Copies of this chain bind each other. A is one copy, B any other.
Amino acid sequence: MIKGNLLVGQSGGPTAVINATLAGIISFAQKKLDGKIYGMRGGLEGLLSRTDFIELSNLNEGQLERLKQTSGGALGSGRIKPGQEDLERALSYLKQHDIRYFIFIGGNGSMQTPLELERLAQKQGYELYCIGAPKTVDNDLYGTDHAPGYGSAARWLAQHTLDSGLDLYTMRGFDHFKVVEAMGRHAGWLAAASVLARFRPTDPPHLILLPEIVFDETAFLSKVESIFKREGCVLVVASEGVRDKQGKFLAELNAALNLDPVGKPMLSLGEGISGYLCQLVKEKLGLKARYDKPGTLQRGAACVSPIDREEAFKLGEAAAQYALEGQSGLMPGLLRMSNAPYRCKIVPTKLNQVVGRERIIPPEFLTSDGLNEAAFHEYALPLIGPALAEPMRLRSGE
């Protein structure tokens, strides 16, 4: 058995399977560690404001299984970018509790914490093994084929796009234009997943707007008009972070923006891009327009992708394994081996390859003005679990 205590924290926005990763870490450490397993309350902010940990060493199998099934971050989360002082204080608490293994579950912003804690510990000659475990519904992490949380959010968005499309076709003549707004500030992975709702070329989503593609108002309106002529209704899935030629968020053009604590515009607050597009289409084309803005519902919905949950758990186990083996500055990621049958293996990536970098949708999944749908379909389909059920249609061409 390995000596020392382990501390695990959750960071950034939650997902439906971030607790599965936590369960994987606990489960692995329970078997190999001769020491305490602690949980950090409320992310790094929590660590800096109070030093009491949650002891996780004695969770039994049933509790771990329930944790694996529970959406949201059971430890609580935080969002600060730690400064030098924060890091020093954090490290002193870790020393106080003889923490030798530190695992932080988070996205590209959060990975800064394990990376910098490791550097500081090394400088101070304190033996500390720091590992990041990936999570984000945005799927914008380097070093992994996809991030845990993405598959479930993608499944949710695809299913709801399918349902929302059936709703819209039912009400054709009454509702004309609908936006389903997806999370995604710089990367359109989540909006792109809505393509999995399409069984026939004319099915919704009729248009997918990605942050990777500059918004062209004229082209957009002309596409909307011609789809409306053909279908009698238009369903658009839009990433919250789509920008115009000037680099302005469409969400900004609509209303005053809220800023988050680190000064980034909060695109998801207010009417955002949904309100902007509805207004545009109403004014320019005279169409009745509405939007669905599921907000945080899309990232934590209990209808998860089973494969996503399993991968999240296994990446947790791998993170704990790396740490307990005395590795540091790493994040376990997924490497795609094949699409059919779908197979990924877990491989380590250096944290400094991940920190602060956003992996937007790469060129092979894009065309000059949108998504390369066939290529993306192949990538995303295995991630959402069982394929969606094709609806029964009674009206031809619908």
Q: Write the chain B residue with the least CB distance to A295.
A: B292
Contacting pair A301 B77 (CB below 8 A):
no
CA distance A178 to B170 in the complex (A): 31
Residues of B within 8 A of A77 (CB): 170-171, 174
CA distance A341 to B386 in the complex (A): 33
CA distance A21 to B57 in the complex (A): 52
Contacting pair B292 A293 (CB below 8 A):
yes
Q: Interface-forming stretch among A28-36, A156-164, A210-218, A237-245?
A: A156-164
Contacting pair B10 A296 (CB below 8 A):
no
CA distance A303 to B162 in the complex (A): 12
Q: Is A74 interfacial (CB-CB < 8 Å)?
A: yes
Contacting pair A174 B79 (CB below 8 A):
yes
Given contacts A70-B392, A71-B163, A164-B300, contact A169 B76 (CB under 8 A): yes
Q: Is A184 interfacial (CB-CB < 8 Å)?
A: no
Contacting pair A392 B63 (CB below 8 A):
yes
What are 8 A-B interface contacts by the 8 Å CB criterion? A14-B170, A14-B171, A66-B390, A74-B393, A159-B301, A269-B290, A290-B295, A302-B388
A344 to chain B, nearest CB (A): 26
A394 to chain B, nearest CB (A): 4
Using CB atoms and an 8 Å cutoff, list the residues of chain A in contact with chain B.
Answer: 10, 13-14, 16, 19, 39, 41-42, 45, 54, 56, 63, 66-67, 69-79, 159-160, 162-164, 166-174, 178, 180, 260-261, 266, 268-271, 275, 278, 290-297, 299-303, 388-395, 398
Residues of B within 8 A of A394 (CB): 39, 54, 56, 67, 74-75
Contacting pair B294 A69 (CB below 8 A):
no
List of 10 A-B pairs having minimum Cβ-Cβ separation, nearest first: A72-B166, A292-B295, A66-B392, A73-B170, A70-B391, A14-B170, A67-B392, A163-B300, A167-B300, A74-B394
Copies of this chain, count: 2
A31 to chain B, nearest CB (A): 20
Residues of B within 8 A of A290 (CB): 266, 268-269, 295-296
CA distance A236 to B164 in the complex (A): 24
Q: Write the chain B residue with the least CB distance to A56.
A: B394
Determine which residue in A78, A159, A173, A294 has the highest number of CB atoms from chain B within 10 A of its CB, and name it.
A173
A237 to chain B, nearest CB (A): 12
Residues of B within 8 A of A10 (CB): 170
Q: Write the chain B residue with the least CB distance to A274.
A: B293
CA distance A295 to B278 in the complex (A): 14
Contacting pair A164 B297 (CB below 8 A):
yes
Given contacts A163-B301, A293-B295, contact A391 B42 (CB under 8 A): no
Contacting pair B71 A166 (CB below 8 A):
yes
Contacting pair A75 B300 (CB below 8 A):
no
Residues of B within 8 A of A172 (CB): 42, 76
Determine which residue in A162, A163, A391 has the highest number of CB atoms from chain B within 10 A of its CB, and name it.
A163
Residues of B within 8 A of A67 (CB): 392, 394
Residues of B within 8 A of A398 (CB): 76
Residues of B within 8 A of A164 (CB): 296-297, 300
A8 to chain B, nearest CB (A): 11
Q: Write the chain B residue with the least CB distance to A66.
A: B392
Q: Write the chain B residue with the least CB distance to A39.
A: B394
Residues of B within 8 A of A170 (CB): 10, 14, 72-74, 76-77
Determine which residue in A168, A171, A271 has the highest number of CB atoms from chain B within 10 A of its CB, and name it.
A171
Contacting pair B301 A297 (CB below 8 A):
no
Our pick among B166, B171, B269, B297 for the contact of A70 (Cβ within 8 Å) is B166
